[in-house]
Structure 1
Amino acid sequence: MRDHRRDGIPPGNLPLELDTFVGRGAQLAELARALDSARLVTVTGAGGVGKSRLAARAAARRAPRDGVWRVQLAPVRDEEFVDYTVVEALGLTDHTTRLPRETLLAHLAERELLLLLDGVEHLVEPCAALVADLLGHAPGLSVLAVGRRPLGVPGERLVPLAPLSTEEAVELLTVRAGQRGVTCGYDADPDADQREVHELCRRLDGIPLAIELAAGRLGVLSPGQVLRRLDDRFRLLTGGDSTALPRHRTLRTAIGWSHELCTPPERLLWARLSVFAGPFDLEAAEYVCSGDGLPADEVLDVLTALLAQSVLTREESPAGTRYRMLDTVRAYGADWLAATGDADRLRRRHRDWYVGLATWCELEWFSPRQGEVAARVDAELPNLRSALEHCLEEPDGAHLGQYLAGALWFHWVGCGRLSEGRHWLEQAVRLDAEPTAGEQSRLKALWVLAYVAILQGDTVPALAALQECREEAERSANPTAVAYAEHRTGCLALVSDDMPRAERLLRSALHRYREIGELNSNVLMGQVELAMTRAFQGDLPDAVRLCEDVRQVCDDHGERWARGYALYVLAYAAWSDGEPVRARELLADCLGSAHRFRDQLGSVLAVELLALVTVAEGDASEAAVLQGAAGRMWPSVGLPLFGSAHYNAPHELCEAAAREQLGDERYEECVRHGTRLGRREAVARALRRPGVPVSPPAPRTAAGGRAATAARTAKPAASPTRKGGETAG
């Protein structure tokens, strides 16, 4: 994500360039006034009336200190995931056992930002509870909600959104048709064409979505032809649900009219695409939706036709070109899919595709495509959640749920989603799977659950899961599961400061991996962890040898995540040998990789060690700023809960040297400055990127040189840790 602050634009995740905005000037001004006078504003209105677009436009005009953050709630089906979705949208990572609500409260407590909750109508109760809680604890927070119903939270200001006037609707239709290279009429009788355009917009009640659908037909039909076909549709349907609001009937009529104008293959694909919980790509659509009347090689052409008719929208993402269906349109398609009796089969195909995708991603994680895999899983998270839900709800799907939750270990661990991963893993291991089909999947889910719990600092459930995994693996003669259970037990001993036991278990696990031919990022992390035990016991040359071997294997396979941890140990060794320049180069590489993967543990370890390198270079004030930034990051990482003397030593050494050089008052001032840095700012500062301000240098004292020398020549443990501070942002 670009650094908006460097352009004078506050941070956030709201796109800087929105769709062409037509009309709505008065409504936009009204919404802006509401946002100025209330902390909670909810835009309400019928489906398709343009609530989301208006809210996004109003939000984009605001500039709170900590940005505007948009949360897409339409794909969320389970109310348990409302908090997780907000955490994800804010770009937070939390390795601890805290609930996501606690993470949000800590993060927002002293921030000034606008949270745009889009699509709350199906989650009103959990959204209302969340908003009330956040507003009560975060005085700088404002919330802009979008839905068909108000939240009902005290102090809520409602902005009902009316449909477009006829003039505005005509303008929208003309613009959208022009974007497709067509005009709203013909030269033969322009006055008649104008009358028909006005009548068409009037009959569509000024509902933007209905107008968009009509514009999608103007490449083939004239306005008069569209109007006549729509008139026929109205006559058929206006005698339907008499309890529905007229404009709700109008929208459904317009969608139904567009549906009737579709060819049979287009209708079929429309219905089948409704099974996707979020954006999807062409390959997924071809697999999930093909067959039984729609060959796979025809899906692209049919999808293109739906795109041209505004049934689908196209978007570009880090994961490539993807397609999205508006929630109202998806709901219409889901009704048709249910009516065909084919919904269960489509959900199974959807599940199978995403189980296969997770399998591919796990394999490709250990490859040059690691970054691509991380972006792909991020983009597919709504659909992966839907697949996990399906697995865990089906009586015969337990083993698939365990398999899928375990296969995504790299995402939970390597990409900053420990809390969500633990949620799925705990659900999965509680289920009884078929002994033959699910045994291996369950064992993997157990050791992955233990891995997640270890990184969260939750040692008791981690040990219980590892013991169960080891016992069941030995009983069933599963050497792979035995190796992983032993590996993670060694990891638990490592963070508990039991170095001899950790070394023994990790060496044994690595031997088992070699015997069964296992080589991946997990195996390499085991070797890095072994190197840490050697460094903690004073054998830096052996630690360097082990990590140089890891780096070579990673370079051969294009692996970046485990490589970052190896570079961290090598950087520590370089610093210990009096080579701060080399240590800084290694740490810059390490921190860059960890930050790209949203690996909070790798990021904060690198920032802490960079602080130690910085004080050794003689810049104690900047070292203290970095320690403050790391202190803000640590609460979202579980490791400080261990209280490890080995992990704490470098931080304590850096702090002692910086205090000696600066004095207590100046040191605390620099630390406070660092705590005000967000995660992206802290990383940019640690990497000394251009445009990142640095703290003013403090006067050097005579003791400063001695402190820097002491920091450079001491021999602390390989991995620093820090307690206290704020949640990372």
Structure 2
Amino acid sequence: MARPGARDGTLRLPAERSSFVGRRAELAEVRRLLSAARLGTLVGPGGVGKTRLALRAAADVRRSFPDGVTLADLTPVSDPSSVVERVAAALDVRDVSGSWLPARVAEVVGNRQVLLVLDNCEQVRDAAAVLVDTLLAACPRLSVLATSRVPLDVDGEALLAVPPLPVPPAGGPSGPDDAVQLLVQRAEAAVPGLALTPADAEVLADVCRRLDGLPLAVELAAVRLRTLTPAELAARLDDRFALLARSGTAGAERHRTLRATVQWSADLLAPAERVLWRRASVFAAGFDLAAAEAVCADGVLPAPAVLAALDRLAEASLLVGTRVGDGRRFRMLETVRAYGRELLAGSGEEAALRRRHRDWCAGVVSAAAAEFTGPAQVAALDAVDAVHAEVGEALQWGLGVPGEAEHGLALAADLWLYWAARGHLGEGRRHLAALLAACPRPTSVRARGLLAAGYVELTATDADAAVPLLEQARDLGAVTGPAQVPALATQFLGQAALFRGDLAAADRLLREAAAALASTDPRHEAFCWADVGVTAFLAGDLPAAAAAFERGLALGADPWTRSHALWGLGLVRLAAGAPAEAAGSEHAALQLMREVDDRSGTALCVEALAEVAAAERDWERAARLAGAADGVWRSIPAVLPAPLRGRREECARAAVQALGERRWAALHREGAALSRAAAVALALGDRSPVPAPRTEADPLTPRQREVAELVAQGLTDREIASRLVISPRTAESHVEQILARLGFRSRAEIAAWTAARGSTSQ
């Protein structure tokens, strides 16, 4: 299984975008804290630098955590029930079964030595505390480094109060104090060629003292040296920090100093820039120019003015810009976003902005959903991934506002495949249940919501919960439409019958659905035939199964459908005594399943290839692949469906008899220890037939050639993903497909091959 939190024990932390200044004592204290306690919490006011310190410290101690160091950023999380989903995603645990998600996270982490950085816990402190307490009790080698404005208050928690950066004493020598170093470094970065005189040193020291050494305040002040001298900068602080004389505790002083700095930045902005600031705060995570124009523009802030205002906010360090492919995405620092939301709440336009944000989310999801059963399926799922945090925010808001729930239900229903394919079943179940409860009227939107809820329950292998929802969807959809709702409900009811072992009912319902979908939704008809094939195969009718799988393959336009049809054909060919043909089908299915990121499908293919190896009497390969399949199932976590377990047991018995118990167990352990990517590589391996070249001159697709050229430039999968605006897992999939197609074993071989042929992008 893949190690949680990292591939092969490496870091999954964001790269530093600027130099790290000071904090030597705090870094040493964090290292000491993590050596003495399994939960360390960095506490302090917003803007003091808790996140930056935690990430640097985590990177420094990575060798002490061989199974990975990973970040779960809770900044965009406002719903306490979403905390565990965020942590599960960070630890690479997919929510694909009906059991309790914290238990599945604990099962996957198990006895592995992992460091989880849990960032920005304060707004969901109780939920974070309960989850951390649960995981620490169940996972003896897990450590957690949290950041929060308040302690988590969990037994065994060790606290480190993160202080502001040191500032020079008043009247003393300025010296190389950390706050002044930060101010100067950031100013020099913002103003190339900036020349500071010796007389400026004491003025800058005074600025840092009056900002209490708070890093965010210092960084916001630094960019003002674009247009102000140090003396002018100091003079502008006089009136703004008059509030400090009226503050109470030291903590309140630091908080109000930060507010004063942010307010001061707001006062230096033009009206259009202040409008964009408060409106853009509606985004839970990142956004690009098109999203800002769609959500934030109106008669007050015309669309053509958004770009200039966005540029000014980025210049003022109120937005952090990151290049993604050919575009740029922006995010607000947490404190800046919180202040913007206060402005939005007082502006009288929050409800309108929330609706525009929701409608923008719905547009992105609707466009993606139209391709869920088409050839662009992977790109569609990736597009929803990019706005996942925004969708959660929109759905949560709609539940709390009268008259908005039905719009939210329509949005959640459009996500039917995404909830399942990308491992968000718990989230989908929760949103759909709440929205259906809030929308009792018998409308077409409710029919779609019932259908999506039933499918999600079915994917979670809870047929008992799925069937009533699907029956309601079928009956209501027959009255309200749309026409594909009753047909799809019938298909999913056929799947439920299959899960329950009622093969006759499954066959009848699936064939009925296929006939209906042939005229209303032909793309869905293809998957019906794949399900018919599974039913026939389990009933022992190999000719009928082969015919159904081949029909599904011929009709299927999306990778998900095609992969399952190919997997089924492989089983049929293996049962018919043609292991070489079966291997070809399973290899093709596995490559598609990897592209979609279908983990259960990947495990099924690895299982099938273990059976192929056993049929060919390659017992050592069979043992390793059986272990690799077990590892993939555990990484989900899930188990092989019951109807297929007899085949696995028969394969294992034969291999044990051939190898002996001890050798079988050793090889099985080797396979089980592999990461998911390594398990797939093993399954494809040397025995994998390289697909025929598209042409003799160009064996790769245009996209694969593009990826190969980036590999030759030395880019990692994550950097390739950023350059091409795809997900990291899709980049990984492309690289592995190139290796298989060219018959290579390493990225170096790809680089050499690309260099020898020359670039096609010049």
Structure 2 length as normaliser, TM-score?
A: 0.83
For each residue in 1:232-265, what CA deviation from the matched residue of structure 2 results, as whole angstroms up to 9, or x when unmatched?
A: 3223x33555456222121111111111111111
Is 1:532–1:543's contact at 8 Å kept on the other side of the alignment? yes
Correspondence for 1:614 = 613
CA distance in 2, matches of 1:628, 1:687: 15
* Correspondence 1:91-130 to 2 at 5 A: 91-130=92-131
Residues 450 and 6 of structure 1, relative CA distance in 2, 3 Å threshold: closer
* Correspondence 1:111-510 to 2 at 5 A: 111-166=112-167, 167-185=177-195, 190-235=197-242, 237-239=243-245, 241-242=247-248, 245-316=252-323, 321-435=328-442, 439-476=443-480, 479-510=483-514
* Correspondence 1:71-90 to 2 at 5 A: 71-90=72-91
Q: 1:530 aligns with which of 524, 529, 532?
A: 532
For each residue in 1:493-548, what CA deviation from the matched residue of structure 2 results, as whole angstroms up to 9, or x when unmatched?
A: 222232222222111111111222x133x432222112222333444444444434
Q: 1:519 aligns with which of 497, 504, 522?
A: 522
Residues 77 and 198 of structure 1, relative CA distance in 2, 3 Å threshold: same
- Name the aligned partner's letter for residue 651 of structure 1: R
Indicate the SS of the match to 1:80: helix
Is 2:129–2:154's contact at 8 Å kept on the other side of the alignment? yes
Is 2:514–2:528's contact at 8 Å kept on the other side of the alignment? yes
Residues 78 and 132 of structure 1, relative CA distance in 2, 3 Å threshold: same
Residues 322 and 549 of structure 1, relative CA distance in 2, 3 Å threshold: farther
For each residue in 1:241-295, what CA deviation from the matched residue of structure 2 results, as whole angstroms up to 9, or x when unmatched?
A: 5456222121111111111111111111001111111122222211111113111
- Name the aligned partner's letter for residue 258 of structure 1: S
User: Which range moved further: 414-423 or 311-320?
Assistant: 311-320
CA apart distance, 1:429: 2.1
Correspondence for 1:664 = 661
Indicate the SS of the match to 1:238: helix
Indicate the SS of the match to 2:117: strand
CA distance in 1, matches of 2:637, 2:120: 33
- Name the aligned partner's letter for residue 652 of structure 1: E
Is 2:119–2:146's contact at 8 Å kept on the other side of the alignment? yes
For each residue in 1:671-726, what CA deviation from the matched residue of structure 2 results, as whole angstroms up to 9, or x when unmatched?
A: 33333334344334333399xxxxxxxxxxxxxxxxxxxxxxxxxxxxxxxxxxxx
* Correspondence 1:5-84 to 2 at 5 A: 10-15=9-14, 19-61=18-60, 62-63=62-63, 64-84=65-85
Is 2:470–2:493's contact at 8 Å kept on the other side of the alignment? yes
CA apart distance, 1:382: 1.4
Is 1:93–1:598's contact at 8 Å kept on the other side of the alignment? no
Residues 478 and 370 of structure 1, relative CA distance in 2, 3 Å threshold: closer
CA distance in 1, matches of 2:652, 2:368: 41
- Name the aligned partner's letter for residue 184 of structure 2: T
Is 1:311–1:329's contact at 8 Å kept on the other side of the alignment? yes
Residues 227 and 614 of structure 1, relative CA distance in 2, 3 Å threshold: farther
Provide the alpha-carbon RMSD of the alignment. 2.7
How many aligned residue pairs are there?
674
User: Which range moved further: 543-552 or 199-208?
Assistant: 543-552
CA distance in 2, matches of 1:573, 1:11: 40
- Name the aligned partner's letter for residue 687 of structure 1: L
Is 1:457–1:641's contact at 8 Å kept on the other side of the alignment? no
CA apart distance, 1:130: 1.5
Residues 633 and 103 of structure 1, relative CA distance in 2, 3 Å threshold: same
- Name the aligned partner's letter for residue 25 of structure 2: A
- Name the aligned partner's letter for residue 244 of structure 2: T
Is 1:95–1:600's contact at 8 Å kept on the other side of the alignment? no
Q: 1:686 aligns with which of 636, 658, 683?
A: 683
CA distance in 1, matches of 2:482, 2:279: 40
CA distance in 2, matches of 1:144, 1:172: 25
For each residue in 1:205-232, what CA deviation from the matched residue of structure 2 results, as whole angstroms up to 9, or x when unmatched?
A: 2111112112222223222222222223
Residues 446 and 135 of structure 1, relative CA distance in 2, 3 Å threshold: same
Indicate the SS of the match to 1:216: helix
CA distance in 1, matches of 2:297, 2:461: 46
Correspondence for 2:694 = none
User: Which range moved further: 533-542 or 375-384?
Assistant: 533-542
CA distance in 2, matches of 1:657, 1:391: 57
Indicate the SS of the match to 1:217: helix
Residues 667 and 446 of structure 1, relative CA distance in 2, 3 Å threshold: same
- Name the aligned partner's letter for residue 495 of structure 2: C
CA distance in 2, matches of 1:218, 1:689: 61
Percent identical among aligned pairs is: 38
* Correspondence 1:587-602 to 2 at 5 A: 587-602=586-601
For each residue in 1:71-96, what CA deviation from the matched residue of structure 2 results, as whole angstroms up to 9, or x when unmatched?
A: 11111111111111111111111322
- Name the aligned partner's letter for residue 163 of structure 1: P
- Name the aligned partner's letter for residue 507 of structure 1: R
Moved over 6 A (4+): 2-7, 636-639
Is 1:457–1:638's contact at 8 Å kept on the other side of the alignment? no
Is 1:319–1:372's contact at 8 Å kept on the other side of the alignment? no
CA apart distance, 1:181: 4.2
Indicate the SS of the match to 2:285: coil
CA distance in 2, matches of 1:194, 1:524: 72
CA distance in 2, matches of 1:553, 1:408: 23
CA distance in 2, matches of 1:382, 1:482: 31
Name structure 1 gaps, 5 residues minimum.
Answer: 691-729
Residues 317 and 461 of structure 1, relative CA distance in 2, 3 Å threshold: farther
CA distance in 2, matches of 1:341, 1:447: 37
For each residue in 1:432-456, what CA deviation from the matched residue of structure 2 results, as whole angstroms up to 9, or x when unmatched?
A: 3444xxx112112212222222222
- Name the aligned partner's letter for residue 468 of structure 1: Q
Is 2:151–2:159's contact at 8 Å kept on the other side of the alignment? yes
- Name the aligned partner's letter for residue 326 of structure 1: L
Residues 290 and 476 of structure 1, relative CA distance in 2, 3 Å threshold: closer
* Correspondence 1:574-585 to 2 at 5 A: 574-576=573-575, 578-585=577-584
Residues 561 and 176 of structure 1, relative CA distance in 2, 3 Å threshold: farther
CA distance in 2, matches of 1:86, 1:627: 29
Structure 1 length as normaliser, TM-score?
A: 0.87
- Name the aligned partner's letter for residue 237 of structure 2: L
Is 1:493–1:502's contact at 8 Å kept on the other side of the alignment? yes
Residues 3 and 465 of structure 1, relative CA distance in 2, 3 Å threshold: closer
